[in-house]
């Protein structure tokens, strides 16, 4: 320290009273009962952002010393309040204190020993949640959007989405949800990758032929985004496992390929109050909607009964333009993200239809059926038929 700075320090020490960390702690505790609005003591952390991110005193506000004069009057408008300043060691806070006195603050205190001594005394501190440098770069395009931002990205990282099926719809959806940083993706699929899948199921590739789809999905997802935890369920959804499996998830993405599973999922999601993002495709056309229990219609409101087999061919029988489930699956991912972030208008009560050949999107209004056996007045979703016999599902192996 040079002569001039020593002089500055000497003056500051004369002018600005100091409290020890234990005195600060006592004063904060005494005023706690009065409620946040009545606090006449304000704790201000004057360190740099990187120091603040490593831990700070609970209840403190952050006004770095570099912006002190510019920000303090907005942060603490009442100059009669007791303002307790702290830094890392107790030096910067003294100098900041002298500045505040010059600006007209009447009761300025500096905490002797700073945050270092606070921590060494074993007192409480909080570490704010931050994205790592790698995450800040990876999600930078999300952070720039006001509707997402850091808070939204944390929401996505904390979210859990279950994908029923890692096939035509599940593949693109899982890919984009992983890219977006959805922290946990559950994938339930008992099937094995087949070459005929590769015309549309882009999570998989030629080398994965013969592998379980759920595991192939995990490999692809992990390579794209190691932040994502992939939970695989190599089984079929049935009445014995559905409640247990869906319980952990926030949103369910329906990429199933048969009616009984859709009815089963519908009923279980109503009982567990989980939104289901529904998509289906056939040749050149696709449909998409969001079933939000009790807020909008459920699957049974829309389709009380399945069609006879001759009116509901599978893709294996009738074919599908490969890119079409890609479009619908990505729209499902979009609706899922909207639900997770709580932004925009999810397709609740609206059926979006897409005709690829015509290049047309249309929308149909859907209503909750007051007599729906699953979500209506005298509903009993626990024991409704799933039509497994009617749809002639092959016997489970």
Partner 1 sequence: MATVRLAPVLRAAAGGSKQVSAQGSTLAEVLSDLFQRYPALKEQIQPDHDLSRFVNVYVNDQDVRYLQGLNTAVGANDTVILLPAMAGGERS
For binding to partner 1 (CB under 8 A), which residues are involved? 165, 167-169, 191, 256-259, 262, 280-285, 287, 302-309, 311-317, 320, 325, 353, 362-367, 369, 391, 393-394
Q: Measured from the CB of residue 179, what is the shortest distance to partner 1 in angstroms? A: 24
The sign of the torsion formed by the CA atoms of 366, 371, 372, 374 equals: positive
Q: Measured from the CB of residue 286, what is the shortest distance to partner 1 in angstroms? A: 8
Q: How many whole angstroms separate alpha carbon 294 and alpha carbon 273? A: 8
Q: Which is nearer to partner 1, 139 or 233 (CB)?
A: 233
Q: Measured from the CB of residue 297, what is the shortest distance to partner 1 in angstroms? A: 9
Q: Measured from the CB of residue 241, what is the shortest distance to partner 1 in angstroms? A: 19
Angle at 292 between CA 291 and CA 296, to 5 degrees: 85
Q: How many residues does the chain have?
A: 397
Q: Measured from the CB of residue 258, what is the shortest distance to partner 1 in angstroms? A: 5
| Contact status, residue 96 vs residue 65, Cβ threshold 8 Å | yes
Q: Measured from the CB of residue 136, what is the shortest distance to partner 1 in angstroms? A: 39
Q: Measured from the CB of residue 238, what is the shortest distance to partner 1 in angstroms? A: 15
Residue whose entry in the numeric block shows the structure tokens 């303002």:
83
Q: Which is nearer to partner 1, 180 or 374 (CB)?
A: 374
Residue 83 CA: distances (Å) to CA of 76, 233, 350: 8, 56, 55
Q: How many whole angstroms separate alpha carbon 127 and alpha carbon 36? A: 21
| Contact status, residue 361 vs residue 354, Cβ threshold 8 Å | yes
Q: Which is nearer to partner 1, 92 or 204 (CB)?
A: 204
| Contact status, residue 362 vs residue 204, Cβ threshold 8 Å | no
| Contact status, residue 126 vs residue 55, Cβ threshold 8 Å | yes
Q: Which is nearer to partner 1, 307 or 342 (CB)?
A: 307
Q: Which is nearer to partner 1, 189 or 227 (CB)?
A: 189
Q: Measured from the CB of residue 223, what is the shortest distance to partner 1 in angstroms? A: 25
Q: Which is nearer to partner 1, 120 or 362 (CB)?
A: 362
Neighbour-count burial of 358, counting CB atoms closer than 10 A to its CB (0-12 exposed, 13-18 middle, 19+ buried): exposed
Q: Which is nearer to partner 1, 16 or 202 (CB)?
A: 202
Q: How many whole angstroms separate alpha carbon 197 and alpha carbon 216? A: 12
Q: Measured from the CB of residue 331, what is the shortest distance to partner 1 in angstroms? A: 15
Give, for 271, the enclosing helix (H) or strand (E): helix 259-272
| Contact status, residue 194 vs residue 220, Cβ threshold 8 Å | no
Structure tokens at 356: 């690829």
Q: How many whole angstroms separate alpha carbon 61 and alpha carbon 48? A: 12
Q: How many whole angstroms separate alpha carbon 315 and alpha carbon 283? A: 8
The DSSP string of 57-78 is -TT-EE--GGGHHHHHHHH---
Q: Measured from the CB of residue 224, what is the shortest distance to partner 1 in angstroms? A: 25
Q: Which is nearer to partner 1, 10 or 303 (CB)?
A: 303
Structure tokens at 153: 């990205």
Q: Which is nearer to partner 1, 94 or 166 (CB)?
A: 166
Q: Which is nearer to partner 1, 133 or 317 (CB)?
A: 317
């Amino acid at each position: 320290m040079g002569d001039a700075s020593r002089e500055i320090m000497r003056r500051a020490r004369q002018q600005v009273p100091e409290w020890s960390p234990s005195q600060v702690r006592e004063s904060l505790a005494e005023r706690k009962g009065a409620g946040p609005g009545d606090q006449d003591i304000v704790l201000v952390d004057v360190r740099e952002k990187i120091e603040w991110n490593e831990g700070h005193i609970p209840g403190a506000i952050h006004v770095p010393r570099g912006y002190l004069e510019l920000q303090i009057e907005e942060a603490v408008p009442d100059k009669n309040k007791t303002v307790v300043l702290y830094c890392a060691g107790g030096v910067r806070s003294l100098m900041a204190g002298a500045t505040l006195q010059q600006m007209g603050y009447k009761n300025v205190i500096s905490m002797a020993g700073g945050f270092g001594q606070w921590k060494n005394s074993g007192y409480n501190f909080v570490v704010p949640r931050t994205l790592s440098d790698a995450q800040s770069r990876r999600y930078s395009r999300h952070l720039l959007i006001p509707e997402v931002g850091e808070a939204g990205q944390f929401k996505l990282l904390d979210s859990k989405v279950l994908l029923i099926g890692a096939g035509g719809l599940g593949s693109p959806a899982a890919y984009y949800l992983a890219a977006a940083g959805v922290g946990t993706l559950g994938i339930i699929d008992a099937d094995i990758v087949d070459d005929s899948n590769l015309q549309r199921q882009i999570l998989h590739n030629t080398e994965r032929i013969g592998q379980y789809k759920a595991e192939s999905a995990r490999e692809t997802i992990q390579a794209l985004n190691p932040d994502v935890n992939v939970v695989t369920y190599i089984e079929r959804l049935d009445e014995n496992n559905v409640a247990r499996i869906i319980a952990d998830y926030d949103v369910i993405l329906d990429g199933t390929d048969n009616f009984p599973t859709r009815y089963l999922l519908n009923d279980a999601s109503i009982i567990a109050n989980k939104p289901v993002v529904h998509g289906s495709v056939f040749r050149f056309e696709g449909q998409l909607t969001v079933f939000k229990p009790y807020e909008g219609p459920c699957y049974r409101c829309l389709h009380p009964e399945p069609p006879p087999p001759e009116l509901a061919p599978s893709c294996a029988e009738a074919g599908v333009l490969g890119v079409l489930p890609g479009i619908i699956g990505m729209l499902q991912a979009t609706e899922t993200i909207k639900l997770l972030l709580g932004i925009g208008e999810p397709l609740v009560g609206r059926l979006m239809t897409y005709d690829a050949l015509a290049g047309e999107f249309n929308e149909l209004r859907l209503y909750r059926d007051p007599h729906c056996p699953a979500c209506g007045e005298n509903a009993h979703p626990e024991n409704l038929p799933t039509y497994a016999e009617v749809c002639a599902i092959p016997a489970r192996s």
